[in-house]
């Protein structure tokens, strides 16, 4: 373990909100580092503000006027005497201008260099760099395409279906599948229009659309001087709208040989750009076992906890050590995968209405503890979830020795968890893990589209409602008749039907 530090970091400003800001502060506190939060007007009582040693207001609710304003954030760091800024994910985390401005102000940016972000932030330049470095990329173009005839010609060579992709895209946005030549002209025009509006850059390229693939990604750490290590893979194939909902590590689909190959390709990727800090190299795995580079996310990833659980590391600490100049605090040879972890993203959204975001007040949030259970949350009971930001409320992570045990644990924890006051996707997770293709690990990125039927989903109603009511009725009966050892008066039985239901259900699991 390397410990030589060259930059003093004893106070860090976290330029983010929600669960990731809380998670980063937890890591910092354990390292003895003081924490500074920034917050918008609607986040005055947000969890990340309550967790921080100090908190600085940075403006109105819209992110463009608060969490995305580099100057205000840097100013807050300087005023509070923080030496470094951790950007989290989303917001300014992959913005090269921000990291440059942070360093120009004499502060440490806990993340990669602006140059790495520039190469990887643009999918076209990342493709070119990877091709030159010998990392396999999805068959397609390395230059933007604007003319529909040229696009049709390229698509004919690659073979349909193809995917039109915005070079500046992210968060699952800016992609369109084209199935046949006739659809090309319209699709190209629309994708360019959307990309221009959403990312301020309408460059589009064409990739072969891989059918029934798996999304496999590799966690890496780079020292910024050309050396990198990997921390194995995560599988993130359960997606809706090209966004992840459930992730697991290890991937149930990799042989040891394929794992070694993909991890080596990820290390090569990071070393090719002398990557500094924590990053994720995403690959798409085709059914025939071939894999291709998709993109590199130059930041801490949402799903980083499953790697922490399986590899037994603290990625926030690793990032801070690298930023201090202490190098990578883990050696490749000492790292291995131990057990199995699953992460469930708890979104304020309605699966029955095509996963549309919802808002409201968190009335109840109760997740049982027990061995191998981790909740990374950005909310608490009584908190009003603002509409202005990402609808992800929290992440539920479970770990156990084997995949089978991890699934059993996930089932118990999901069943025993309660989240009230807002429409959310806990029931979706229970549904997902009970599907045969999830249980046997064969699921692909088409899992939700192929198996989930929003029309059959009762909007806003827990799909177990019938089961709960039936269980409650049985137990109330037992209590009234005196066959239940905890006999209660009739009135109390009826008043406490939901507690009865909970008891009845948990004794069956
Ligand atoms: P990704 O979806 O990029 O593989 P994550 O799931 O870790 O990675 O996403 C991190 C967060 O950043 C999500 O909230 C995602 O919506 C957001 N995000 C990532 N890139 C962009 C972008 N270019 N524009 C808007 N949001 C983005
Ligand atoms: P983002 O920056 O939005 O995360 P990615 O390039 O990482 O964009 O792709 C997001 C998801 O879209 C992938 O996880 C995968 O499900 C799907 N996808 C991307 N490229 C392809 C492709 N060439 N073929 C099939 N699916 C793809
Ligand atoms: Mg991605």
Binding site membership of 204 for ligand 1 (Cβ less than 6 Å) = no
Report d(CA 408, CA 463) in Å as an integer: 19
Strand, helix or coil for residue 254: coil
Give the Å distance between the CA of 171 and the centre of ligand 1. 4
Distances (CA, A) of 281 to 91, 176, 190, 262: 20, 22, 29, 10
Nearest to 321 by CA among 398, 222, 414: 222
What contacts 507, CB < 8 A, 6 or more positions away?
none
Report which bound ligand comes closest to the CA of 139. Answer: 2
Give the Å distance between the CA of 453 and the centre of ligand 2. 22
Q: Can you give the pLDDT at residue 3?
A: 47
Report whether CATH 3.30.1490.20 matches the domain 139-208.
Answer: yes
Strand partners for 24: none
Q: Whats the size of the chain, residue-wise? A: 509
Binding site membership of 301 for ligand 1 (Cβ less than 6 Å) = yes
Report d(CA 429, CA 425) in Å as an integer: 7
- The residue contributing the CA closest to ligand 1 atom 24 is 170
Pocket test for ligand 2, best of 242, 247, 283 (most atoms within 8 A of CB): 242
Give the Å distance between the CA of 426 and the centre of ligand 1. 21
Angle at alpha carbon of residue 205, lines to 200 and 208, rounded to 5° = 140
The pair of structure tokens assigned to 336 is 């291995």
Binding site membership of 302 for ligand 1 (Cβ less than 6 Å) = yes
Which is the closest atom of ligand 1 to the Cα of 280?
A: 4
Residue with tokens 């009762």: 458
Q: Can you give the pLDDT at residue 449?
A: 95
Strand, helix or coil for residue 1: coil
Pocket test for ligand 2, best of 172, 178, 246 (most atoms within 8 A of CB): 172
Contacts 24+ apart (CB under 8 A), 139-144: 139/207, 139/208, 139/292, 140/205, 140/206, 140/207, 140/208, 141/205, 141/206, 141/207, 142/205, 143/205, 144/203, 144/204, 144/205
Binding site membership of 376 for ligand 1 (Cβ less than 6 Å) = no
**Catalytic positions:** 299
Q: Can you give the pLDDT at residue 509?
A: 37
Report d(CA 4, CA 1) in Å as an integer: 10
- The residue contributing the CA closest to ligand 1 atom 20 is 170
The pair of structure tokens assigned to 486 is 């905890």
Strand partners for 223: 276
What contacts 150, CB < 8 A, 6 or more positions away?
none
Q: Cβ < 6 Å from ligand 2: which residues?
A: 138, 163, 169-172, 207-210, 213, 215, 239, 242, 282, 284, 294-295, 445
Phi first, then psi: give them for residue 172, nearest 5 degrees: 75, 5
Report d(CA 307, CA 202) in Å as an integer: 35
Report which bound ligand comes closest to the CA of 173. Answer: 2
pLDDT in tens, 79-123: 999 999 999 999 999 999 999 999 999 999 999 999 999 999 999
Query: Angle, to 10 degrees, between the axis of helix 465-481 and the axis of helix 497-507?
Result: 100
With residues binned 3-state (H G I as helix, E B as strand, rest as coil), the percentages for the chain, rounded to 5, are 40, 25, 35
> Per-domain residue ranges for the chain?
11-110, 139-208, 214-451, 463-506
Report d(CA 3, CA 94) in Å as an integer: 27
Longest CA–CA separation in the chain, Å: 79
Cα distance from N-terminal residue to C-terminal residue, the chain = 44
Q: Can you give the pLDDT at residue 504?
A: 53
Nearest to 346 by CA among 423, 440, 449, 292: 423
Give the Å distance between the CA of 445 and the centre of ligand 3. 12
State the DSSP H helix or E strand holding residue 247, giving kind and residue range, or none if neither.
strand 243-249
139-208 and 214-451 have identical folds: no
Nearest to 83 by CA among 123, 53, 110: 110
Count of CB atoms within 10 A of residue 215's CB?
21
Report d(CA 371, CA 18) in Å as an integer: 25
- Average pLDDT for runs of 10 along the chain of length 509: 72 98 98 98 98 98 98 98 98 97 98 97 96 96 96 97 96 94 97 95 97 98 98 98 96 98 98 98 97 98 98 98 97 98 97 92 94 97 95 98 98 95 95 96 97 76 56 63 54 48 50
Q: Can you give the pLDDT at residue 490?
A: 47
- Tell me which CATH code domain 11-110 carries: 3.40.50.20
Residue with tokens 């290890």: 250
Give the Å distance between the CA of 224 and the centre of ligand 2. 27
Binding site membership of 236 for ligand 1 (Cβ less than 6 Å) = no
Which is the closest atom of ligand 2 to the Cα of 171?
A: 3
Which is the closest atom of ligand 1 to the Cα of 299?
A: 7
Binding site membership of 345 for ligand 1 (Cβ less than 6 Å) = no
* pTM as predicted: 0.90
Report d(CA 161, CA 142) in Å as an integer: 18
CATH class of 214-451: alpha beta
Pocket test for ligand 1, best of 88, 89, 343 (most atoms within 8 A of CB): 89
Q: Are 232 and 263 in contact (CB under 8 A)?
A: yes
Report which bound ligand comes closest to the CA of 94. Answer: 1
Give the Å distance between the CA of 172 and the centre of ligand 1. 7
- The residue contributing the CA closest to ligand 2 atom 21 is 209
Q: Can you give the pLDDT at residue 486?
A: 55
Give the Å distance between the CA of 93 and the centre of ligand 1. 10
Q: Can you give the pLDDT at residue 6?
A: 86
């Amino acid at each position: 373990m390397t410990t030589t530090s060259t930059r003093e970091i004893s106070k860090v400003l976290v330029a983010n909100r929600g669960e990731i800001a809380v998670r980063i502060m937890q890591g910092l506190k354990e390292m003895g580092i003081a924490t500074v939060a920034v917050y918008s007007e609607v986040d005055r009582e947000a969890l990340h503000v309550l967790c921080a040693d100090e908190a600085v207001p940075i403006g109105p609710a819209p992110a463009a006027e608060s969490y995305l304003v580099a100057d205000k954030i840097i100013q807050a760091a300087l005023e509070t005497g923080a030496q470094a800024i951790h950007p989290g994910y989303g917001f300014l985390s992959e913005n090269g201008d921000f990291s440059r401005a942070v360093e120009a102000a004499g502060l440490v940016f806990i993340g990669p260099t602006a140059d790495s972000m520039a190469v990887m932030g643009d999918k076209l330049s990342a493709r070119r760099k990877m091709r030159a470095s010998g990392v396999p990329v999805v068959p397609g173009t390395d230059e933007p395409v604007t003319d529909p005839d040229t696009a049709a010609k390229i698509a004919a060579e690659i073979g349909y279906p193809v995917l039109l992709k915005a070079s500046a895209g992210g968060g699952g946005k800016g992609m369109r599948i084209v199935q046949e030549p006739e659809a090309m002209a319209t699709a190209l025009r629309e994708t360019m229009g959307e990309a221009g509006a959403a990312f301020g850059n309408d460059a589009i390229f064409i990739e072969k659309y891989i059918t029934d693939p798996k999304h496999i990604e590799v966690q890496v750490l780079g020292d910024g001087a050309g050396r990198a290590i990997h921390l194995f893979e995560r599988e993130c194939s359960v997606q809706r709208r090209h966004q992840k909902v459930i992730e697991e590590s290890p991937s149930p689909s990799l042989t040891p040989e394929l794992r070694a190959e993909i991890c080596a390709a990820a290390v090569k990727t990071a070393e090719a750009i002398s990557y500094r800090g924590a990053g994720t190299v995403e690959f798409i795995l085709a059914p025939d076992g071939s894999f291709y580079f998709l993109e590199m996310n130059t930041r801490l990833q949402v799903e980083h906890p499953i790697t922490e659980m399986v590899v037994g590391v603290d990625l926030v600490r690793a990032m801070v050590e690298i930023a201090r100049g202490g190098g990578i605090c883990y050696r490749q040879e000492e790292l291995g995968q131990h057990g199995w972890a699953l992460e469930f993203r708890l979104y304020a959204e309605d699966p029955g209405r095509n996963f549309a975001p919802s808002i409201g007040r968190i009335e109840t949030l109760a997740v049982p503890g027990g061995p191998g259970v981790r909740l990374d949350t950005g909310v608490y009971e009584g908190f009003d979830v603002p509409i202005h930001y990402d609808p992800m409320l929290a992440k539920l992570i479970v770990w156990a020795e084997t995949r089978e045990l991890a699934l059993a644990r996930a089932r118990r924890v999901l069943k025993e968890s309660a989240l009230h006051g807002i429409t959310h996707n806990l029931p979706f997770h229970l549904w997902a893990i009970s599907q045969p293709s999830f249980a046997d690990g064969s699921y692909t990125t088409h899992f939700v589209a192929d198996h989930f039927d929003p029309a059959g989903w009762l909007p806003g109603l827990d799909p177990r409602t019938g089961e709960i009511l039936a269980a409650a009725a049985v137990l109330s009966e037992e209590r009234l008749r005196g066959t239940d050892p905890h006999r209660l008066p009739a009135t109390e039985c009826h008043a406490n039907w939901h507690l009865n239901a909970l008891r009845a259900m948990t004794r069956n699991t």
